[in-house]
Structure 1
Amino acid sequence: MKKKVAYLYVIIIVGCFSCGPKIIQEPIVFDEERSNLTLSYMEEHYGIRQEEPTIIPKMIVVHWTEIPTFQKTVDAFYEANLPEHRNAIAGAGSLNVSSQFVVDQDGIIYNLMPETTMARHVIGLNHCAIGIENVGGSDLPLTDAQLRANVKLIKYLKKKYPIDYVIGHYEYQLFEKTDLWLEKNDSYRTVKTDPNKEFMEEIRKRTKKLDIKPLPKG
């Protein structure tokens, strides 16, 4: 794991049986450089100019990492600048990818950054979206423990914020004709398959009592 210089590293478990899931704090770097990169990204891609890189969450986007371990996921998100090997999205800015939450294969939930701070995890919608990354991918199936953890986390976040939508990453382009879509670069798109349709179907079954809007028609 990368050395955390000048950062106090504390693991804190928050939550209780009655008020939400247990969440372990595992902060990535969010210093002045990352803040400025985030503000620049918001202005360039969404036309949003503000003093702090904060968001009002209206959406939760569920992902998988395509990275085999939690630690490697944290390492990938940790630094402020996008690594050189991320050629497919490098042209859209040097802000590194990240997510507010990561759920490990055993179902443990980690919080990497404040829920209302913008993370780069979904094209066109970062300005209003909380990201949940799940350790796994096409070669490492997501687990029942992760499914249960995602459902608990979604219910918890829905109580805190005006969440209208819960989507899989592969569904993000359905929002291009909605008011939530602010992406100014018409050529900036990537094809996604995560976290797979089966996982999202199960999430929707287990959260159907929540006041969540249906997806826009494609």
Structure 2
Amino acid sequence: MPSDSSKLAIQQHPSPNCDERPDDIVIDTVVLHATVLNTLDEVIKHFSNPVSKVSAHYTIDRDGTIAAHVPERGRAWHAGRSKVKDGRTNVNDFSIGIELVNQNDGMDPFPEQQIEAMRGLLKSILARYPIKHIIPHYECAEPPGRKSDPIAFDLAWIDGLLK
């Protein structure tokens, strides 16, 4: 698991829902999601169930707790059918998926502790990989409009991390 993020307290909750990335792939994208599930425990149970066929590299709870599910070098199953603006498909191949515990209804807030934990995690990831894109799930889901997460998440501050 990726505790290369030595200054971050990351709980390990492995998911069987992953596989290997293609050879010689460059991880250059982070995809942000909202869980729609209400608690970290619900997410852990869902990602631990092989029948769900869903996972992410990380989940960040409302209180800032970070859970790791899939090693960064592994391919988590978070983006589904997907394509980025430069035309590449199969976004799971070259991305790290981060889930935020949130109902994704536009009313459930993203607490400051959750945002600060995500900021720390993103900085840690940026120190290890040549990340060029940090995008919401709705931006890469195919067909367009298939996903809406994360609704009402302020992405403006993220651009500053990439500069």
| TM-score class, shorter | 0.7 to 0.9
Secondary structure of the residue aligned to 1:21 is coil
Does residue 60 (structure 1) correspond to residue 60 (structure 2)? The answer is no
Q: Residue 65 of structure 2 contacts residue 117 of structure 2 at CA under 8 Å; is this kept in 1?
A: yes
Mark the CA change 1:189 to 1:196 in structure 2 (over 3 Å): closer, same or farther. closer
Residue 127 of structure 1: aligned partner: 93
Residue 122 of structure 2: aligned partner: 154
**Mapping of residues 139-218 of structure 1, within 5 Å:** 140-172=108-140, 191-204=146-159, 208-211=160-163
Mark the CA change 1:107 to 1:145 in structure 2 (over 3 Å): closer, same or farther. same
Residue from 45, 65, 68 that aligns with 1:111: 68
- Consecutive unaligned residues of structure 1, counting only runs of 5 or more, are 1-11, 43-47, 83-95, 174-186, 212-218
User: Shift of the alpha carbon at 1:97?
Assistant: 1.1
Residue from 15, 30, 45 that aligns with 1:28: 15
**Mapping of residues 80-99 of structure 1, within 5 Å:** 80-82=50-52, 96-99=53-56
Mark the CA change 1:169 to 1:100 in structure 2 (over 3 Å): closer, same or farther. same
Mark the CA change 1:210 to 1:20 in structure 2 (over 3 Å): closer, same or farther. farther
Does residue 77 (structure 1) correspond to residue 47 (structure 2)? The answer is yes
Return the letter of the residue paired with 1:193.
Answer: S
TM-score when normalising by structure 2: 0.78
TM-score when normalising by structure 1: 0.60
C-alpha RMSD of matched pairs (Å): 2.7
Q: Which runs of 4+ in 1 moved over 4 A?
A: 187-190
Query: Higher Cα Rg: structure 1 or 2?
Result: 1
- Greater per-residue helix proportion: 1
Q: Residue 25 of structure 1 contacts residue 111 of structure 1 at CA under 8 Å; is this kept in 2?
A: yes
**Higher RCO structure (Cα 8 Å, ≥6 apart):** 2
- Greater per-residue strand proportion: 2
- Consecutive unaligned residues of structure 2, counting only runs of 5 or more, are 83-90
Secondary structure of the residue aligned to 1:73 is helix
> Using the alignment, how far apart are the partners of 1:104 and 1:158 within structure 2?
21
Mark the CA change 1:67 to 1:158 in structure 2 (over 3 Å): closer, same or farther. same
Residue from 102, 110, 134 that aligns with 1:136: 102
> Using the alignment, how far apart are the partners of 1:164 and 1:77 within structure 2?
27
Return the letter of the residue paired with 2:65.
Answer: I
Q: For 1:176-210, what per-residue CA distance to the aligned partner results, in whole angstroms no more than 9, with x for missing partners? A: xxxxxxxxxxx766522211354222433xxx153
User: Shift of the alpha carbon at 1:55?
Assistant: 5.2
Aligned residues: 151
> Using the alignment, how far apart are the partners of 1:142 and 1:209 within structure 2?
19
